[in-house]
Amino acid sequence: MSIKESAYILRLPFIRNNYEECAKEARLKDMSFEDFLEELLKNEVELRTRNSIKTRIRRAKFPYQMILQDYQREHLSIEIRQKIHELETLEFIDNKQNIILIGNPGTGKTALSIALGTEACQQGKKVLFVSIPTLLIELKEAMNQNQITMYKRKFESYDLVILDELGYCTFDQERGEILFNLLSSRNEKGAMIITSNLTFDRWNEVFKDQVLTGAIIDRLAYMSYLIDMSGDSYRTLATKNWNTKNGSTTNQ
């Protein structure tokens, strides 16, 4: 069996496609067998790592590309920029904490969530990006096919779930309760980033139920990072009032 055939069976594409050229280079450099093998395997690992990152990014279903190095933050306050710098460590994922980004359209909420999600993919994390309108469709399909339990298991399997555009569509009572159960089952099991154009005091416009709205906010806001992308402070006044009134604990 040839080296190419063996490399194909062992799924070593770099070695299969490049070993001859690498062997020629090794002879020219008078490399030892150990050094040649080490270099060959190093390149194989690097290729596999790059491909794994590409696969994770593709499966995350980001609507467009954005990395932290390219994310524009000059328009943001110093306090928010400092908070973003803290989030770039991705410790919030390891700690299973949530990030809630609030602000008007065009303030960079979605771009920041994608940049953090892409960084997570590059660090070996399993990520899902889904807009709330798309989530509604998927929930409805899962309900019609009696696959809610399966959907919840899949939802909980990600290291990071990004829920975009909360506030652009409303929930009826049934789907609102299902979303609450979905988020509750994931909460403290895995990190989430949620973007919204609405402050907490307006989330009732989405869920149409004051009690349900309060329960969802309490679950999501506990030990979370709450960032107002359009103001001088990373926390909205409404969020501060909500936490003061309800005794929620948030990161400062």
pLDDT for 59-99, tens place per residue? 999 999 999 999 988 888 899 999 999 999 999 999 999 99
**Residues 53 and 175 occupy one common structural domain:** no
Starting from the edge strand earliest in sequence, which strands make up the sheet with 191-196, in order?
127-131, 160-166, 191-196, 98-102, 225-228
What secondary structure letter does DSSP report for 227? E
Binning pLDDT at 50, 70 and 90, where does residue 232 land?
very low
Mind listing the pLDDT tens digit for each residue in 169-228? 877 878 788 888 888 888 878 999 999 999 888 988 888 888 888 988 988 888 899 999
Asked if 128 and 154 touch (Cβ cutoff 8 Å), the reply is: no
**Residues 154 and 44 occupy one common structural domain:** no
**Residues 22 and 119 occupy one common structural domain:** no
**Token representation of residue 221:** 């806001």
Binning pLDDT at 50, 70 and 90, where does residue 236 land?
very low
- Quick count: other Cβ atoms within 10 Å of Cβ 232? 10
**Residues 33 and 114 occupy one common structural domain:** no
Residue 16 lies in a domain: yes
Distance of CA 241 to the CA centre of its chain: 28
pLDDT at position 238 is 45
pLDDT at position 225 is 93
**Residues 83 and 208 occupy one common structural domain:** yes
Instruction: Please tell me whether residue 196 adopts helix, strand or coil conformation.
Output: strand
**Residues 68 and 165 occupy one common structural domain:** yes
- Quick count: other Cβ atoms within 10 Å of Cβ 213? 20
**Residues 37 and 124 occupy one common structural domain:** no
CA atoms of 82 and 101, how far apart (whole Å): 15
Instruction: Please tell me whether residue 63 adopts helix, strand or coil conformation.
Output: coil
Residue 180 lies in a domain: yes
**Residues 107 and 223 occupy one common structural domain:** yes
Structural domain of 12:
3-58
**Residues 54 and 69 occupy one common structural domain:** no
Segment 132-142 mean pLDDT: 89
